[in-house]
Structure 1
Amino acid sequence: MSKKKVGIIIGVIAAAVVAAGVGFYFLKGRSNGGNSADKVYVEKVSAIMNQSAGINNRYSGVVEPQETLEINKDSERKVKEVYVSVGDEVEEGTVLFSYDTEDLQMQIDQAKLEMEGIANDISNSNAQIAELQKEKASAPEDQQFEYTTQIQTLQTSIKQSEYNKKSKQAEIDKYQKSIDNSEVTSKMAGVVKEINENGVDPNGNTAAYMKILATGEYRVKGTIDETSVGTISEGTPVILRSRLDETQTWTGSISKIDTESTQTDSNSSYMYDGSSSGDSASKYSFYVTLDSTDGLMLGQHLYIEPDYGQGEVEEKEGLWLYDYYIVQDDGDPYVWAADKKNRLEKRKVELGEHDENLGEYEIKSGLSEDDLIAFPMQGLYEGVAAVTNMEEVDYSSPLYNQESTDDSGMDEGMYDEAGTESMDEGMYNTDGTEYMDEGMYDEAGTELTDSGESGATDSEVVE
């Protein structure tokens, strides 16, 4: 056997040994579930499909009247008695509360006494004027001026007293009017919503003493935070659901979004989609005009969600799954499902009908409602750990950073970013075929001699 053939045989054997080592390392890595830091969140099929369209964009709302009556208290007066309580229904003219009139009556009595004194002063002044005029008639000429001055002074005093008398009468009329209006009545039919004894609401903001919500046509006031306010607009159709029975629904549309009046929540607020709005998120109010108010109660709390047609969906028989969870490459369709050891596997499924409107496939076999599945993100591989707690997922692991350098412990160049085997540089082409060492083989795989001419082929070596 020539030295050339012996060298070729040794080279082939070495390449086979290296390939076997790579394959063993690859299989060893796979059997251990890939990189230990890789974890994938899985969720029950039933939980995924029970999340109807729009549930991730739910907002809180409360039924309120189209009109609200705010009654402010006279800060200079004292409330004697309140005749209603929060939640009471009132009619137009119902007495709500009354002011204390004792001080007013005392002021009236005092003013009347003062008026009697003024009247006596006027009467005395007129009597003095009459007496002075008699004396003036018989007085010498050099005393006439003195009498005239005294008479004019008394006449001026009478005019001042008459003015004071009119002022006192005005005071009495004012006090009497306050007494007559000491009972405050409702100007419309409604329900007592608030009574703020101290003039502030529960949040410490200045508020009317009493607030009445009109009965009749209702609207719904919703609350949305600053991070989500851009997702709604006036005219958007919505579905409103009872918090006690979500099958009980109403429809309407957003009629107004109040972005000028903000409410700052100092506490962290929790959205229905599970996200936190932060420690000091600003909130805005929006209003929904209802298509029908049948069955609604004033003050009732509701869920508000944009109407994507979920209210018109009829319940379908069998198991259905969103089509984006199903992988349909060239082979049989499958989903990424957790096995009994909580490791991800490709689970083949048999598909039935396809609902193009909702983007759902009927699953005839291969999957149940209790199975745990993962979203088919790029780079998933069989054997990766499956977890049901999203907080356990390390998004800094190689699986979620496929463009970064692989720090999974595998030799660089041996595995690609998805965890699949990658051929050593210089040994294999990108398509996986063997790459010949430079200077030994030409592009066709024919051995090159030292002179650059073709020598024996692989088949000749085998022989």
Structure 2
Amino acid sequence: MSKKKKIIISVIAAVLIIAVIVSAVVIAMTKGKNAAKASGVYANKVADVMYQAGSTDRYSGVVEAADTMDIKADSEKTVKDILVSEGDEVQVGTPLFTYDTKDLAAKKESATLELESLNNTLSGYDAQIEQLTKEKKEAPKDQQLDYTLQIQQAQTQQKQTQYDIATKKAEIEKYDESIKNATVNSTMVGVVKKINENQSADTADTAFMTIVATGDYRVKGTIDEQSFLNSGLAEGQAVIVRSRVDESKTWQGTISKVDTENPQTDNSNSGMYDDGSSEQKASKYNFYVQLTGTGDMLLGQHVYVEPDFGQTEVKDGIWIDESYVVKDGDDAYVWTLNKKDKLEKTKVELGDYDENLMMYEIKSGLTKDDYIVWASDDLYEGEPAQTWEEYVENGGGEDSVYDDMGTEALDDQMLEGTEGGPVDDGTMDDGTMDEGAADATGSGDAEVQ
């Protein structure tokens, strides 16, 4: 064998050996990645989960005027002119509508004539009584009783006429007042919400015009009966009102009323339950939030309402949900992801505990750049895992029913609902939906502009 052939054979053998080594490394890495993927264990960056408490019940609501004025039209009068339109802003004293005064003027004239006639009749009774009294004095004794009876009868008719005169004067004064106040003015600053121009005898008890106050708002929320029984929602409870478009925008308030005396029947399928014999419809209740401030809030704006446990407070240091922490005697640790994509126990020093948020302060043992996993009894050291970002980048989250916290999210069908749909029935939302879905979901009456 020539020297040239020996060199060629040596080169081929070296290439083969290198190829085998590379293949082994690739296979090992693939097995490691597949093992991590198969484990279904995903780690989140500490900086991403700081201050994120467990699920918070939230309910949908709508911003409405704290005060509403319903104006009923006088059934004895005819509306002549409507001076405003729906949506117009009004001030105290703004003319709203006028009554037709022609009929009133005619009635007043008729009543005035009747009053004159009554006055003439009264004068006649006065003269009659005076004459009878004079004649009685000169009459013989056997006629005294007859004159007395005539005088008493005239006095009775006199008193009745005096009463009729007083009644007729009051009637005329009422006509004068009605004519004077033929124009109805607003008594509050607000916006004309509704005008019932086609009011009939059947709707006489309803408001002819409705005005809602501006500048002073409250939130009207809705909760279904099952959620209400489990929520502990009560008057005086502090709540956070959160924008559905920008969840960083919040307002503070307290529950001023839970209207359990006027339940509303839920006609949606989501409110149905089976008692074993027939389908029943669940009820839902309105509750109202008194706000401590209304800056940047819009009338008609749709919002979320959630109990205030201090979740909007930004704490110093590292705070994580208690579900990440495992207690072992006097020690505490969390499951972290090491550089080899394996789980390991990391001892941490605990600080304060927030009972409302159920979160621990981590004084040492973790940094904001570490990756941690929700604690579970079936985790073990050396278990393959991967970061949630890697899982999503590899397409693992496209068809997943898990959200960015690794917790179960709402079903896709529920996220397709619009106002009045399945998720808008007053049921609580666990706060895990993404921002895109938030504008189409909720639990009551919701949507923000």
Superposition TM-score, scaled by structure 2 size: 0.50
Query: How many Å apart are 1:53 and its aligned residue?
Result: 7.9
Show the counterpart of 1:301: 302
Report the AA paired with residue 225 of structure 2: E
Show the counterpart of 1:277: 271
Distance 1:93 1:365, change over 3 A: closer
Contact kept? 2:266, 2:283, Cα under 8 Å: no
Matched, 1:189 2:189: yes
* Percentage of identical aligned residues: 41
Query: How many Å apart are 1:268 and its aligned residue?
Result: 0.7
Indicate the structure with greater helix content.
2
Distance 1:161 1:277, change over 3 A: same
Q: Measure, in 2, the Cα distance between the counterparts of 1:291 and 1:361.
A: 45
Distance 1:358 1:247, change over 3 A: farther
Distance 1:304 1:207, change over 3 A: farther
- Where 1:220 maps in the other structure, the secondary structure is strand
Give the alignment's Cα RMSD to 1 decimal: 5.2
Distance 1:366 1:195, change over 3 A: closer
Q: Measure, in 2, the Cα distance between the counterparts of 1:137 and 1:307.
A: 93
Matched, 1:116 2:116: yes
- Where 1:255 maps in the other structure, the secondary structure is strand
1:380-391, aligned counterparts within 5 Å?
none
Runs (5+) with no aligned partner, structure 2: 1-39, 273-279, 316-322, 325-334, 344-368, 377-384, 403-410, 415-449
Matched, 1:354 2:353: no
Show the counterpart of 2:355: none
Contact kept? 2:96, 2:184, Cα under 8 Å: yes
- Where 1:294 maps in the other structure, the secondary structure is coil
Show the counterpart of 1:240: 242
Q: Measure, in 1, the Cα distance between the counterparts of 2:188 and 2:65.
A: 12
Distance 1:248 1:75, change over 3 A: farther
Contact kept? 1:263, 1:283, Cα under 8 Å: yes
Distance 1:232 1:93, change over 3 A: farther
- Where 2:187 maps in the other structure, the secondary structure is coil
Show the counterpart of 2:393: 368
Show the counterpart of 1:220: 219
Report the AA paired with residue 220 of structure 1: V
Contact kept? 1:115, 1:168, Cα under 8 Å: yes
Query: How many Å apart are 1:159 and its aligned residue?
Result: 3.4
- Where 2:288 maps in the other structure, the secondary structure is strand
Query: Relative contact order (alpha carbons < 8 A, sep ≥ 6): 1 or 2 greater?
Result: 2
Matched, 1:163 2:163: yes
Between structure 1 and structure 2, the one with the greater Rg is 1
Q: Measure, in 2, the Cα distance between the counterparts of 1:297 and 1:358.
A: 43
Contact kept? 1:353, 1:361, Cα under 8 Å: no
Distance 1:129 1:263, change over 3 A: closer
- 1:335-356 per-residue CA deviation (whole Å, 9 max, x = no partner) reads xxxxxxxxxxxxxxxxx73267
Query: How many Å apart are 1:128 and its aligned residue?
Result: 5.1
Q: Measure, in 1, the Cα distance between the counterparts of 2:375 and 2:105.
A: 75
Contact kept? 2:251, 2:294, Cα under 8 Å: no
Tell me the matched-pair count: 299
Distance 1:159 1:215, change over 3 A: same
Matched, 1:179 2:204: no
Contact kept? 1:254, 1:288, Cα under 8 Å: yes
Contact kept? 1:54, 1:305, Cα under 8 Å: no
- 1:381-403 per-residue CA deviation (whole Å, 9 max, x = no partner) reads xxxxxxx9889xxxxxxxxxxxx
Show the counterpart of 1:288: 289
Q: Measure, in 2, the Cα distance between the counterparts of 1:158 and 1:150.
A: 12
Query: How many Å apart are 1:174 and its aligned residue?
Result: 2.7
Query: How many Å apart are 1:282 and its aligned residue?
Result: 1.6
